[in-house]
Amino acid sequence: MNEKEEVIRKLRTGVINCNEKGVTEAVHEVIKKGFDPSEAIERGISEGMRVMGNRFDKMEIFLPELMIAADIVEGGLDILLPEIQKEKRPMKGRVVIGTIKGDIHSIGKDIVAAMLRAYGFQVHDLGLDVPISKFYEEAMKSGADIIAISALMSSTIGGQKDAIDFLEAMGERERFTVMVGGGAASPEWAERIGADGYAKTAAEAAKHALELLEERRGG
């Protein structure tokens, strides 16, 4: 196994085994050895979290382990995400992003926000448990091009549709490009609710945001 694969494996197993020291060491190796931080995040950290999610689903682990793993992941992202944003690109557009009302899952949203910044977007991160009206107010105030909404649960995903209906009701649907994502979302769901875009990963989200903006500007 080559060095990069070894470090990514160490990241993934570190998250799965709630091994904070292992994750921190691997994160510093990614930076020291100049590996792509976004690849390390998607294939190491996110993959490790997906495994933990499946174990939680199968009742092999419970909330305390999940929270420990999430804390370790956030520690690793605090070190790696700034590496992604180091690359400065000309300003492409403005995005308002957040996790929908009732949902406090931040990890995915944080990775997408960092990736959008790396691709040259000015990102207004509204955080977690964000009411629909807040997305609207901040998007109007900041002159945003894109509203990006994350949701991880079947009990909160409906908020993505409500947000689109809210823009319709305010007569401002055409002003914004609406992107949805998060573990509970899918391309079919995005199409059904009339969203403009969906992406499975952070890198896809940033690339797709650029495409949607170009389309919108008639490129």
Q: In Å, how far are 14, 46, 56, 66, 67 from 61, measured between CA atoms?
A: 15, 17, 5, 7, 11
Choice between 32 and 99, CB closer to ligand B12: 99
Rounded distance, CA 10 to CA 5, Å?
A: 8
Nearest distance from C-beta of residue 135 to ligand B12, angstroms: 11
- Number of Cβ within a 10 Å radius of residue 64: 9
Q: Is 59 in the site for ligand B12 (CB under 6 A)?
A: no
For residue 42, the number of C-alpha atoms closer than 13 Å in the C-beta half-sphere is 14
Q: Is 66 in the site for ligand B12 (CB under 6 A)?
A: yes
In the region spanning residues 10 to 49, those forming contacts with ligand B12, defined by CB under 6 A, are 42, 46, 49
Q: Is 94 in the site for ligand B12 (CB under 6 A)?
A: no
Rounded distance, CA 125 to CA 157, Å?
A: 19
The C-alpha angle with vertex 102 and arms to 98 and 108, in degrees rounded to 5, equals: 40
Q: Is 160 in the site for ligand B12 (CB under 6 A)?
A: no
Q: Is 178 in the site for ligand B12 (CB under 6 A)?
A: no
Segment contacting ligand B12 (CB under 6 A): 5-13, 18-26, 61-69, 79-87? Answer: 61-69
Choice between 163 and 202, CB closer to ligand B12: 202
Nearest distance from C-beta of residue 55 to ligand B12, angstroms: 8
Choice between 171 and 214, CB closer to ligand B12: 214
Choice between 2 and 82, CB closer to ligand B12: 82
What is the secondary structure of 1-13 as a DSSP string? --HHHHHHHHHHH
In the region spanning residues 124 to 153, those forming contacts with ligand B12, defined by CB under 6 A, are 148-150, 152-153
The DSSP output letter for 44 is: I
Binding test (CB under 6 A) with ligand B12, winner from 182, 193, 196, 212: 182
Q: Is 191 in the site for ligand B12 (CB under 6 A)?
A: no
Do residues 129 and 155 lie in contact, with contact meaning Cβ atoms separated by under 8 Å? no
